[in-house]
Amino acid sequence: MDETLDRDARVYVAGHGGLVGSAIWRDLEARGFSDLVGWRSSELDLRDARATMDAVREASPDVVVIAAARVGGIMANATEPVEFLNDNLRIQTNLFEAAHAADVDRLLFLGSSCIYPKEAAQPIAERSLLTGPLEPTNAAYAIAKIAGIEAIKAYRSQYGRRWISAMPTNLYGPGDNFDLVRSHVLPAMIRKFHDAKVDGGAVRLWGSGTPRREFLHVDDLADAVHHLLEHYDSAETINVGVGADVSIRELARLVADAVGFDGPVDWDASKPDGTPRKLLDVSRLEELGWRPSIGLEEGIASTYRWFLEHRA
């Protein structure tokens, strides 16, 4: 499939105020899309089916990108599984039903690489989905995202919708959440190293530091979203990543260098590591002609600069 999106098309970016949605919004604006639609959570609660239906039908978008979700790190996922399951199921279901009622032909649903089994063969290919147990600490969130993938397949099969789903790897960048309880590993590290640099003392990090993770700058993801909307049309979900990973210890060194912290780092091995390794097989995306452009060291440095400018 090769289909250039009309720059005058009305595009609804669900979750446009968050890390992912704001990057997609910036990317579309930079490409000349002139009719972007979005509501912040204070304006529209996507867990409310009637309100979501009314808003989307009235807006009547041509394209929908679903970047809205309840997200968080290991602690938030492990302690609030009910909210992570229910809120995400409601958000997705309401948006799918509203988009269908509004006769939206082109929709992209964004999930997460946590959908794959904890012990999946590395790098993780899309065919690994549902072949083994999930990582327990974020299973509720993963189940919700898997339900979203299946919904995309169902709408395609039953109604002929040209809807697609994509599973990004770990994301970071401007607009991230740096709260120490609810954030993911990379922004949490930036916050911890910055605070230690300012206040003095050691940085305390969870786990052994041995798990390996892949990190994709959110601006690269936004670029990939546009590429997929123009070049991908399949019921099967597709991975979005960089095809390379680092250990959490290596990541800590990169963050320390970016922040300028040269003090001690203590690892709390009593805390969970999560999945031992999570590297996505991105060969299908590469075959479509897309590759990332922002290196990890460069991306961390720019994200820290953003943090310094917005930390208040």
Residue with structure tokens 């305390």?
204
**Res. 11 pLDDT band, cuts 50 70 90:** very high
Q: What is the pLDDT of residue 155?
A: 98
26 dihedral zone (left: phi>0; alpha: psi -120 to 50; beta): alpha
Sheet holding 63-66, edge to edge: 35-37, 10-14, 63-66, 106-110, 162-168, 238-240
The catalytic residue among 116, 141, 172, 232 is: 141
CB 11 within 8 A of CB 33: yes
Residue with structure tokens 């968080």?
72
Residue 48 assigned ligand-binding role: no
pLDDT tens-digit profile of 41-74? 999 999 999 999 999 999 999 999 999 998 877 7
Residue 153 assigned ligand-binding role: no
0.85 surpassed by pTM: yes
The least confident of 73-87, 104-118, 249-263 is 73-87
Q: What is the pLDDT of residue 229?
A: 98
Question: What is the Cα–Cα distance from 221 to 223, expressed in whole angstroms?
Answer: 5
pLDDT tens-digit profile of 117-132? 989 999 999 999 999 9
Q: What is the pLDDT of residue 312?
A: 60
Which tokens is 244 given? 């390379």
- Domains present along the chain, CATH in parentheses: 10-177+214-243+277-294 (3.40.50.720)
pLDDT tens-digit profile of 138-150? 899 999 999 999 9
Q: What does the pLDDT average to over 275-279?
A: 84
Q: How far is CA 78 from CA 20, 72, 101, 135, 138, in A?
A: 22, 10, 35, 10, 6
Task: Confirm whether 116 is a catalytic residue.
Answer: no
**Res. 181 pLDDT band, cuts 50 70 90:** confident
Residue 197 assigned ligand-binding role: no
The yes-or-no verdict on residue 183 having pLDDT over 90 is no
**Res. 109 pLDDT band, cuts 50 70 90:** very high
Q: What is the pLDDT of residue 246?
A: 97
| Mean pLDDT of the chain, nearest integer | 95
pLDDT tens-digit profile of 235-251? 999 999 999 999 999 99
Residue 234 assigned ligand-binding role: no
The yes-or-no verdict on residue 105 having pLDDT over 90 is yes
Q: What does the pLDDT average to over 158-185?
A: 92
pLDDT tens-digit profile of 200-230? 999 999 899 999 999 999 999 999 999 999 9
